[in-house]
Amino acid sequence: MKKAAFFMLMVLVLSGCKGKSQLIVSPTPSLTADPCSVEKIIQFLEVADDVKYRFTQLAQRANDIPGEDLESIIKEMQVIESEAINIGPPPCALQAKSALTSYMETLIQGYFRLYAQGIGITPESFTNSPTADEEFNLAASKLEYYETIMEELRNLVLETSESE
């Protein structure tokens, strides 16, 4: 029994002699900017609103033009669409950007169908595709969705600004 107690005492003493363990210090978190800061959201809102405004102005002009004369407006719309595609939104605005570009693409498709019909082209690939009116209806619903997301972002900016 004395041997067992002595052995346990030695194990405890020796285990305490192995030295102190190093204290592991966790790295301090880096102070990076908030990827969805109010400033970045506001910047996105301004750029997206400008692109959408210019695009809808072209769409209104296109409504007053016969189908065969739509080529130049479609090209201008595509230029604005590429600007929208190149917008670098903060992570919380990715859905809004996607909705905007989807709306633009669908509306351009509708005008392209009108243009093709206006110059007498009805390719076989159009036969099973949506009509121009169906494209315009779809674009309208996509625009409504985009506006809903943008309103949510505006509300987020307001809420964040009020809490600061």
pLDDT of residue 162: 76
In whole angstroms, what is the distance from residue 37 CA to residue 39 CA? Answer: 5
Contact 150, 94 (CB under 8 A): no
In whole angstroms, what is the distance from residue 129 CA to residue 154 CA? Answer: 36
Domain assignment of residue 122, given as a range = 34-163
**95 inside domain:** yes
Residue indicated by tokens 């929208």: 84
pLDDT over 60 at 13, yes or no? no
Residue indicated by tokens 């030695």: 10
78-128 pLDDT tens trace: 999 999 999 999 999 999 999 999 999 999 999 998 898 888 877 655 567
**117 inside domain:** yes
pLDDT of residue 117: 83
Considering its fold, how many domains does the chain have in total?
1
**140 inside domain:** yes
119-156 pLDDT tens trace: 887 765 556 778 889 999 999 999 999 999 999 999 99
Contact 81, 101 (CB under 8 A): yes
In whole angstroms, what is the distance from residue 6 CA to residue 91 CA? Answer: 65
**4 inside domain:** no
**131 inside domain:** yes
pLDDT of residue 129: 77
